[in-house]
Amino acid sequence: MPIRRIVLMGNPALQRVADPAVNPRDLARLAEDMRETLESIDANGLAAPQVEVPTRLVIYRVPASRIPQGARQEPVPWTAMVNPVVEPLSEQKTPIWERCLSLPGLYGYVPRHNEIRLTFTDLDGVRHERVAKGWHAMLIQHECDHLDGVLYPMRMTDITKLTFASELGDGKSFYSYSAAEFDGR
């Protein structure tokens, strides 16, 4: 299975609204390639426009290794979401540090809804509904934004918090969360 090339900010593929998928089964090969692409770089989420396919498909997971001790969340196995729809369950937003494979080396502090309801179909066309909080909710909002041509800097309210990882100093990473931050508490 081929590893797909992930395009970077500035590529027109990241700027358009992706088309709804008509036949989820037709996306099985693409979904497999996207998962393998993520595994090859130990990453957790990717939207089809990032590999230059203008279709409403997202692949993501919440790995156990990403969940800080004391967080109230369970790992989520690899999930393929076709035509996902995000509905905020709370108007409250909390900023969280995030990054994107299409903006390598950067972190941004982005307000996201604390809790969302997510509906999607899987690759067999079966409908699913999930409630997600905190980091899980952020990841889904981030990935689904790609389907509408939105990159995280466009959601930022304080652009001074767009930061190169290389400026963070010795081994420090914004990508290490406290349990409360991870849960959106």
Instruction: Give the C-alpha distances (Å, rounded to integers) separating 105 from 29, 100, 135, 168, 173.
Output: 29, 9, 20, 11, 11
Cβ proximity to Ni ion, 163 vs 179, nearer residue: 163
Three-state SS for 171? coil
82 contributes a contact to Ni ion by CB under 5 A: no
Q: Which two tokens stand for residue 174?
A: 């914004």
* Other CB atoms within 10 A of residue 50 CB: 24
Q: Is the separation of the CB atoms in 112 and 94 below 8 Å?
A: yes
Q: For residue 118, how far is the Cα from the chain centroid?
A: 13
Cβ proximity to Ni ion, 78 vs 179, nearer residue: 78
Instruction: Please report how close the Cβ of residue 38 comes to Ni ion at its closest, in angstroms.
Output: 11
* Other CB atoms within 10 A of residue 40 CB: 10
- From the list 100, 110, 118, 132, which residue makes contact with Ni ion (rule: CB under 5 A)? 100
Instruction: Please report how close the Cβ of residue 143 comes to Ni ion at its closest, in angstroms.
Output: 7
Segment holding 32, helix H or strand E = helix 28-40
Of 18-26, 79-87, 92-100, 107-115, the window that binds Ni ion (rule: CB under 5 A) is 92-100
13 contributes a contact to Ni ion by CB under 5 A: no
The yes-or-no answer on residue 143 being catalytic is yes
CA distance 122 to 84: 10
Of 16-24, 74-82, 95-103, 124-132, the window that binds Ni ion (rule: CB under 5 A) is 95-103
Instruction: Please report how close the Cβ of residue 104 comes to Ni ion at its closest, in angstroms.
Output: 10
Cβ proximity to Ni ion, 88 vs 153, nearer residue: 153
**Which residues are part of the catalytic machinery?**
143
Contact positions vs Ni ion (CB under 5 A): 100
